[in-house]
Structure 1
Amino acid sequence: MTSRLFFVSPAMSASLRQARFDDGCSIDDGGAEQARSAAGALPSAVRVLVSPGVRCREMAAALGLDGVATPELAGLDAGRWRGRTLDELGATEPEEVARWLTDPACAPHGGESVQDLCARVGRWLATARETAGRTLAVVEPEVVRAAVVRALDLPLTAFWRLDVPPLTATELSGRAGRWNLRLGRTLAGPDAA
């Protein structure tokens, strides 16, 4: 049995442009338009899942998907850093930011550590392997990173070395106890060059 996971990252938002920790900001008009034009580029799926965050729910709607909200695929809980930019935090809490970016077990913001996020997504991956066919999941970029780290058994420090651009798809296919990875498929609508 082969399980295929197709992770779709949300389109741009004002928060993403400003390197701001998720603050419940919507995808912007340009991102919504790009998502609508990309809807035809999505493969069929046996199930559609959506991170409970605003951007992901709006992205799924713009893609014409009716997905099931899945708490296990929620974005990283940034605690008291929610809504703040990295520049702001670098100016007020430089040591904490530096620790957070180098120690996956650290969570100076009082939320979730990278280690905890990877463990949560890893537990979900273990159950996803039991589902035959393709699953489409609209999730935050950090969830894609965590899935790749767990699927390929990478060190947790690799988390920060993985870039997940907006409006792209990352594919994992699982069979015989292992995952294979296909990175960064751009979602382009039928009219794209």
Structure 2
Amino acid sequence: MFKISLFDNKKMMERFVILQVAVIMMTILISYKIAYYYTHIIEQNILFNIIYGILGLVGVVIIHELIHNILFRTFAKNAIKPSYHYHYGLISTHMPETYYKKWQYILIMLAPLIVLTLLLTVTFMFFSYSSIIFISSFHIGYCMFDLYFTIGLLNSSVKFVENTEQGIYYYTQSPVKVNAEIK
């Protein structure tokens, strides 16, 4: 068993926020480049792009966490309800005392990124406003936390995952055996 807790280390959290900003900026640039090849972008003022991008992100984050909530409940074998916490401008969903198989946790973490990015891309195909690029880019930056927690699953010995308020626990064997050994 090993644990990843990004929120406990302030220095690491600051570096992660810088990474998020860099990813957002790169995503905006790449999205503009790709969009210019396929459509005429309805340009908006940079101030409107940022304001609409942040307001749109609020709505997208609510849907993002709702997708996590639905998938956590779908794969949970107990009746515990997910809890939400606010850390450094990030809302996170947790399901303590619930263990997920590796593939389930990957699906839970990546589903909001895939679903919402596809929805925003389809929306952009019909309404080519530049603010939609900003909303999508801000969301991709927000999803960096999900990607970070998913990277821990690239370890082939990880079999189960527990998502708690203290951090993400990766188990190399059945968590029932581990908890019995600890007690």
Does the TM-score normalized on the shorter chain lie above 0.5? no
Higher CA-based Rg? 2
More helix by share: 2
